Amino acid sequence: MSALANHAFIKMNGLGNEILILDLRDGTPLPTPEEARAIHRSGLTFDQLMTLEPGRGTDFSTTILNNDGSESAACGNGTRCIAWLLMNETGKDRLTIATKAGPLVATSGSAPHTITVDMGLPRFGWKDIPLSRDAGDARAIDFEPAPGLSAPSVVNVGNPHAIFWVDDIAAYDFATLGPKIEHDPIFPERANISLAHVTAPDALTLKVWERGAGLTRACGTAACAAAVTAARTNRTGRSVTVTLPGGPLHIQWRDDDHILMTGSIESEFEGRFDPAIFAGTAA
């Protein structure tokens, strides 16, 4: 039987970005990709499954699985969720959380249920993103996957992102285009795909097809990616509000190039896994 049978979980969301949290500090093994997919198929749906684990030279650490079982190096909205839980547990207002993308520092926001996360430094080299070839300036690469969609900005903010600048984010069949572009050979590790529209010098709207999760109401790293590339292409300044279907995130790209993401979280419910979820999965 799966070690996750009857194991406790917490369901949260960051602006509608659905996060399922497992506390594995008791030594329970990490979920397998097959187990993650089984949980999502059971009706306990999520965008990312995130674990709480002992720190690796930090306060805590986390492993992030998408709902297709693939691993993600970073999740901004999910990091805010687990930081809020851990701050309530420890009484601290500042925590460092180890991720595959590196340590992330979270601080308590000025408003209730609001957390700021230092998402680190963006990377723009084509091998860092990564791309399968040198496609030119990362501000507008040589890539046209569909009519009307071309020259996206690309950046790695813990995971790879491509941002297409458009006049109307609702004008595209993103449920069809999203997975096609995510899996294009130019992205050897796949990519998060966004449609972005600038509404003011300090504001933009965003729609995201999230790698390994699909259409999502919010994606923190995509908001960071869009904000940074908007500033790099002189579309906005370095401090912007990014509005996603789930709500707004404030992104500040500081002069030291660190990206600060601030937004709210919501705790939904707690429960335990029905052992039947894992019938047929490897023990």
The parent domain of residue 92 ranges over: 8-118+266-278
Number of folded domains that form the chain: 2
Same domain, 79 and 39: yes
- Judge if 13 and 109 occupy the same domain: yes
Q: For residues 261-283, give the mean pLDDT.
A: 91
Q: Considering the domain boundaries, does residue 52 fall inside one?
A: yes
Is residue 2 in a domain? no
Question: What is the model's pLDDT at position 30?
Answer: 95
Q: Sorting pLDDT into bands at 50, 70 and 90, what band is 80?
A: very high
Record the pTM.
Answer: 0.93
> Would you say residue 1 has pLDDT above 90?
no
Q: Is the pLDDT of residue 283 over 80?
A: no
Asked if the structure places residue 112 within a domain, the reply is yes
Q: Same domain, yes or no, for 113 and 178?
A: no
Interval 17-75: pLDDT, tens: 999 999 999 999 999 999 999 999 999 999 999 999 999 899 999 999 999 999 999 99
72 in a structural domain = yes
| Active-site hit among 155, 219, 227, 228 | 219
Mean pLDDT for the chain overall? 96
Report the pLDDT averaged over residues 148-155.
Answer: 96
Shared domain check, 66 and 19: yes
Does 247 lie in the same domain as 161? yes
Give percent above pLDDT 70 in the chain.
Answer: 99
Q: Are 112 and 171 in the same domain? A: no
**Residues 52 and 97 grouped into a single domain:** yes
- Mean pLDDT calculated for residue range 266-273: 97
Q: What is the mean predicted confidence (pLDDT) over 154-159?
A: 96
Same domain, 166 and 213: yes
What is the pLDDT averaged over residues 151-179? 96
- 106 and 202 share one domain: no
Let me know if residue 179 belongs to a domain: yes
Q: How is the chain classified by DSSP, letter by letter?
A: --TTTT-EEEEEEETTEEEEEEE-TT-PPPPPHHHHHHHHHTT---SEEEEEEE-SSSSEE--EEETTS-EES--HHHHHHHHHHHHHHH--SEEEEEETTEEEEEEE-SSTTEEEEE----B--TTTTT-SS--S-TTS-S---BTTB---EEEESSSEEEEEE-S-GGGS-HHHHHHHHHT-TT-TT--EEEEEEEEETTEEEEEEEETTTEEES--HHHHHHHHHHHHHTTSS-SEEEEEETTEEEEEEE-TTS-EEEEEE-EEEEEEE--GGGGTTS--
56 and 104 fall within a common domain: yes
Per annotation, catalytic residue among 36, 74, 75, 157: 75
Q: Which residues pair with 249 in a beta bridge?
A: 242
Is 219 a catalytic site residue? yes
Has residue 20 been placed in a domain? yes
pLDDT interval class at 200 (50, 70, 90):
very high
Domain match, 56 and 81 both: yes
Residues 250 and 271 in one domain: no
Q: Look at residue 239 and tell me if it is in a domain.
A: yes
Query: Quick one: pLDDT band at residue 110, thresholds 50, 70, 90?
Result: confident
Domain with residue 189: its CATH number is 3.10.310.10
Q: Is residue 132 part of a domain?
A: no
Using 50, 70 and 90 to split pLDDT, how confident is the model at 281? confident
Tell me if residue 81 is catalytic. Answer: no
pLDDT of residue 109: 87
